[in-house]
Amino acid sequence: MALTLSMRGYVSQWQNNIDPATADYHEAVEQATRTHDLRAEMLALVTGGAFWTAIGDLDESEKWLKRGLDITRQLSLRLFEGEYHYLLSRVAMQQGNQKKAHQLAQQAIVILQDSNSGMTFGGPIALGVLALTTADPERQHSVLKQAESLLATGSVGHNYLIFYEDAMEVCLQLSRWDEVDNYAQLLEDYTRAEPLPRSHFFIARGRALAAYGRGERDATTLSSLQNLCAEAEQTGLKMALKALQQANSNRGKDQAAR
C-alpha cells in the first residue's frame, strides 16, 4: 500500500496537483514506517524528497533524503544511493552551496556508473544536475551532450522528462536561447502522446524566458511571463519561480522605458 501511495503521489506531482501529492507522500512514509518496510519507505522518501525540493521546502526535503540515503546503505541499494546523491545536490544548489552541490552531483555519477544499469536508470538526470552545478560553460555544454547521447541509446522515461527541464535551465543561464527552444521542442515531442501539466509548464516557461532573453517585448511574451509566474505560484513550483519573477520585475522597467 505504501508503494502504491508513493506512485500515486508521483503521478499527482506531474499533474501539478500539489495537495494530493503532499498527502500521499506523507501517508506512504507513515505506512512504510509503521509496517517496518524499509524498501517502501526508501521509495517514498526519494519521490517525496524530490517533490519537497520542487515546491521549495528544502528543510523537509533534506530530512527525507538523508533518511532515505541511510536506508539505501542499510539495504545496499547502490543504484538508489546514486539517485539520492543527485537529489541532495539539488537541495544544496537551492541552498546556495554550489561547491557541495557539485561534489554531490559528481559522487552521484560515480555511484551510478559503478552500479548495474545505473546510468540507464538515472544517468541523464545526474548529468543534468552536474551541468547545473558546473561553472565552466564549455564543460556544461559537454555534459549536456553526454546526457543526450545516453538518451539516444534508450533510457528510463523519467530521464527524458527531468533532463530536458534541467537542460533548458542550463541554457537559460548561459543565454543560449536557441538551445532552450530546442530542448523545449524535445520535451514537447516526448510528451506529445500523453501531455503532462508539469512538462507543459516547463516547455512554456523555457520558450517565454528565451524569447524575453532575445529582447522580445511584445504583448504575447509579456503576458506569457505574467501567466507563468501566476501558475508557478499556484502550483507551488517555487524552484521555477525566481527567473519568472525577475523577468516580470524587468517587465515594468521595459514598459516605463517605452
Domain contains 129: no
Domain contains 246: yes
Q: Is the pLDDT of residue 137 over 80?
A: yes
Domain contains 195: yes
One-character DSSP codes across 24-63: HHHHHHHHHHHTT-HHHHHHHHHHHHHHHHHTT-HHHHHH
The pLDDT assigned to 45 comes to 98
Q: Is the pLDDT of residue 257 over 60?
A: no
Longest dimension (CA), the chain: 64
What's the structural domain count of the chain? 1
Q: What is the mean pLDDT of residues 202-221?
A: 96
Q: Give the residue among 236, 245, 255, 251 at the shortest CA–CA distance from 51.
A: 236
Q: Which domain holds residue 199?
A: 156-253
For residue 130, what pLDDT band results from cuts at 50, 70 and 90? very high
The pLDDT assigned to 94 comes to 95
Q: Is the pLDDT of residue 244 over 90?
A: yes
What share of the chain has pLDDT > 70, as a percent? 97
For residue 251, what pLDDT band results from cuts at 50, 70 and 90? low
Interatomic CA distance for residues 194 and 176, integer angstroms: 28
The pLDDT assigned to 173 comes to 96
The pLDDT assigned to 252 comes to 55
Q: Is the pLDDT of residue 127 over 60?
A: yes
Q: What is the mean pLDDT of residues 40-53?
A: 97
SS3 145: helix
Q: Is the pLDDT of residue 38 over 60?
A: yes
| DSSP 8-state class, residue 240 | G
Domain contains 217: yes
The pLDDT assigned to 3 comes to 85
Domain contains 186: yes
Domain contains 164: yes
| DSSP 8-state class, residue 97 | -
Domain contains 98: no
For residue 46, what pLDDT band results from cuts at 50, 70 and 90? very high
Average pLDDT, the chain: 95
Could you tell me the CATH number of the domain that includes residue 229? 1.25.40
Q: What is the mean pLDDT of residues 22-40?
A: 96
Domain contains 12: no
Q: What is the pLDDT of residues 1-27, one digit of tens each?
A: 788 999 999 999 999 999 999 999 999
